Homo-oligomer: A and B are copies of this chain.
């Protein structure tokens, strides 16, 4: 359970007092504000603030298109047009601020997305809580033998049990030693900025993360993808559900053109054209190498 009763009470208090504003309001998003959506065993994401809605995207686009935009019938159509033609700046006009609690090894992947603002809990200043990510047994999988970068089949029950034992006992021991080293009870106590180096990468940290909608879509496309590591994917999926309520038209376009869309190379679209004309196209006459052809077949039969 990621939240203490005190935290639950604080969220309730924050949600108790709506105030009037003249800004654009997204009803779908207001219901999410401050609420913690649980992710993994101790993590969460919660919306702290947001700016803009579907209409704000169109409003910004219409400055860039000026008065002439009469032919684009409505907001939804305009948003789909912008997404289809890679007009990214109107989507940058929406912004979201999230409070995220996540394991350090997930945070390390996440931070590679540089076009965002971050304030992380400081372990130089403060003491980290005793909370570690311990995977559910069904998440323990072997190194993939196909994709060198991912997971393959699930571990046997016995092997999984042994792994969980190790993860739990090492985390507990490292944290005990962390506490012991910083303790100033009868001794000087090691500086926190040093003691933290003993903590493993599955300890939880927290941050405020603020990002515009265009860059958030880029994050979601990469991290909600089937090839992303499970532990970051579940965060991306939780955020995606919030975004669907915040800007439904933009999210719909994103699903159709990015998440559900595919990119075909010059060779691949050429093969499609030849196939549609009835030609028999094979790996040999496709102009692709073996790996490209395999990925192309996956696209055509819907498995990739």
Chain A residues proximal to chain B, CB less than 8 Å: 14-15, 17-25, 30, 33-34, 48-52, 56, 59-61, 63-69, 71, 77, 80-81, 84, 86, 89-90, 92-93, 95, 97, 99, 103-105, 107-108, 111-112, 114-115, 117-127, 133, 135, 139-144, 148-153, 155-156, 159, 163, 166-167, 170-171, 173-174, 177, 180-182, 184, 187-194, 196-202, 206-208, 210, 212, 222, 229, 255-257, 259-269, 272-273, 275-276, 289, 291-292, 295, 299-302
Contacts and interface: CB of A to CB of B under 8 A. Distances in A.
A192 B68 CA distance: 12
Copies in the complex: 4
Contacts of A56: 49
Contacts of A299: 269
Contact of A190 (B93, B163, B191, B212): B163
Given A126-B65, A151-B194, A173-B170, A52 B52 contact: no
Tell me if A's interface is mostly helix, strand, loop or mixed.
Answer: mixed
Given A63-B119, A126-B65, A194-B140, A264 B261 contact: yes
Given A92-B210, A188-B155, A192-B143, A126 B197 contact: no
A23 B50 contact: yes
Interface centre among A69, A89, A125, A135 (most CB of B within 10 A): A125
Contact of A197 (B182, B201, B275, B289): B201
A11 B107 CA distance: 34
A198 B22 contact: no
A82 B249 CA distance: 31
28 contacts: A18-B21, A19-B25, A21-B21, A21-B25, A22-B30, A23-B50, A66-B127, A68-B125, A68-B126, A68-B127, A68-B148, A81-B291, A89-B117, A95-B210, A103-B197, A107-B108, A108-B108, A114-B115, A142-B189, A143-B182, A149-B193, A166-B180, A170-B170, A199-B201, A256-B266, A261-B263, A261-B268, A276-B300
